[in-house]
Amino acid sequence: MQIIYWLLVAVMIVGIIGAVVPAIPGASLILIAIIIWGIVSSSFAAIKIPLIVTIIVLLLSISVDFLASYIGARQAGASKWGQIGAIVGLLLGFFGLLPTLPFGGPLLGILVGPLLGAIIGEYLYRRELGLAVKAGIGIVVGTLVGNFIQGLLAIATVTVFIITTWSQVYGA
């Protein structure tokens, strides 16, 4: 039982990483691990609190993601073109469709792609490079702040799970 528990905690740690790194499942991976623990331990009462917390965190994570990106874009004066460019840049960066960089691979593409995409999208809309760069940086900063907050929420969720289920595993 302890091995399964720690394997699920490891899955949750991947979920924490996924809350920060785009394209890796975050809170949803943590939620799945909690549900699996409820099935394995035959005690849904033991996972009631972590399950409720995880569902709330999942909803908050979605809200934080959109809100942080929106606020970052708005503060920088970005248009929808910049936001769409950032999304396209993220996808191109993640799937490696940006020119091959000598270092970093897809993780660097995930960081550089949205910035370049936002700048290009904003430049196509406004035709002014200075505003496009400012908007691109605003979108990326907003996204990074959102990802940081999602990471903190994911850590809190896993902590609640461990605190509420520890005695079930170790009888303490």
Per residue in 17-32, pLDDT tens? 888 876 677 788 888 8
3-state secondary structure 43-79: CCCCCHHHHHHHHHHHHHHHHHHHHHHHHHHHHCCCC
Rounded Cα gap, residues 35 and 75, in angstroms: 39
Q: Is the pLDDT of residue 75 over 80?
A: no
**Mean pLDDT of the 101-119 span:** 71
Which residue did the predictor score with more confidence, 160 or 91? 160
The pLDDT value recorded for residue 166 is 84
Which residue did the predictor score with more confidence, 127 or 25? 127
Q: Which of 26-40, 58-72, 112-126, 139-153 has the lowest mean pLDDT?
A: 58-72
Amino acid at 110: I
Residue 145: both structure tokens together: 């702040």
For 57: left if phi > 0, alpha if psi spans -120 to 50, otherwise beta; the answer is alpha
The pLDDT value recorded for residue 56 is 83
The pLDDT value recorded for residue 6 is 92
